[in-house]
Amino acid sequence: MEDKERRFAVLIDADNVSPKYIKYILEEISDFGTATYKRIYGDWTDQTKRGWKDVILEWSVNPIQQYSYTTGKNSTDSAMIIDAMDILYSHSVEGFCLVSSDSDFTKLAQRLREAGMFVLGMGESKTPKPFRAACDTFKILDVISQAEADSHSPAPVTGELDKADITSIHDIKKAIFKMMTENTNQGKMTGMADMGNFLAKRFSEFDVRNYGFSKLSTFLESLDEFEVVKEGTTYYVVDKRSEVPISEVEREIELILEENGGEVSNLSIINDEIKKAFPGFHVKQYGFARFSSFIKSLPQFEIRDNSVRLSHDYYYYEEYGRDGTEPHRTSRRKK
């Protein structure tokens, strides 16, 4: 089943969530699937919850009455948990959205995930980490609402939002390097979309808005060590520090030409072979926007009608290693 087709039960704890967040709650859930159940729990005889009335009607959320039987005790939690288990056993949804800043729902989130449910948590930045970690993904509502407000202001905020207790940049960088290293060892580049999915799974509360950004690409490039490049219709993340020495790239091109009789009829063939040899390679690392411009900057090669061959000013000769073994061909400029 596609993620967008996932059916959700949205259960909101009115005791621990402000009515001002309802818009963001339902907008966020639409990125993950469809809200089949929309229920909010509280004691509606309590005058402090009057602000929910218009919101509940406007967004078609079903209010569930739960009286406070004992002063100082929160009976809303029990009602939500019982309903969640009833819905789980009805097999009518594939995911749950638990909206609360209360750590009392940690065990519920764990139980739902054990049953194979996708659990999306939402709450304010004060939400304890155990509840966040128990969810597949956790969204920080005050950060999301502030990010939208900043996007409509003349001077939007940049950088990390200090009020959110979120994963450190250091830990995020370590995770990114780990994924890129694993991909490099397998001879492939790291797609930006794959990176976003990896970070979301690795850190339940990961969201670029938590750090003051609206796009994943902008966030990644703000980390200095990384750059986002485009190949066709796909965006990749490359490590700025892994730039391959020009001499190694030149040598690889020479080998490719030698294996193909001294000429390759299509630039893309050489580009693909270079990336197989050096998975982190991209011409943008050398200041070029196009691979053809990069090749033209190397004097020993020339391009004619999209074919690449050794320039007439150069010739091949055999070169030996320091121990006199393993000869290989390389190029040298004619005198």
The answer to whether residues 189 and 238 touch, using CB atoms and an 8 Å cutoff, is yes
| CATH topology identical between 169-241 and 246-333 | yes
The answer to whether residues 77 and 105 touch, using CB atoms and an 8 Å cutoff, is yes
CA angle 214, 220, 226 (to 5 degrees): 160
Question: Tens of pLDDT along 265-314?
Answer: 888 888 888 878 877 677 777 767 788 888 888 888 888 888 888 877 65
- The domain ranges of the chain are 3-151, 169-241, 246-333
Helix 106-114 with 76-90: angle, nearest 10 deg: 10
Question: Tens of pLDDT along 234-254?
Answer: 888 887 766 678 888 888 888
Question: What is 169-241's CATH topology?
Answer: Nucleotidyltransferase; domain 5 (3.30.420)
Two tokens, residue 2: 């596609």
Q: How many CB atoms lie within 10 A of CB 160?
A: 15
pLDDT at residue 158 in the model: 42
From residue 76, alpha-carbon distances to 22, 110, 212, 262, 297 in Å are 18, 19, 34, 76, 69
Which residues on adjacent β-strands are paired with residue 287?
none
Question: What is 3-151's CATH topology?
Answer: Rossmann fold (3.40.50)
Two tokens, residue 67: 């009286």
Instruction: Read off the pTM.
Output: 0.65
Question: What is 246-333's CATH topology?
Answer: Nucleotidyltransferase; domain 5 (3.30.420)
Two tokens, residue 126: 């004060």
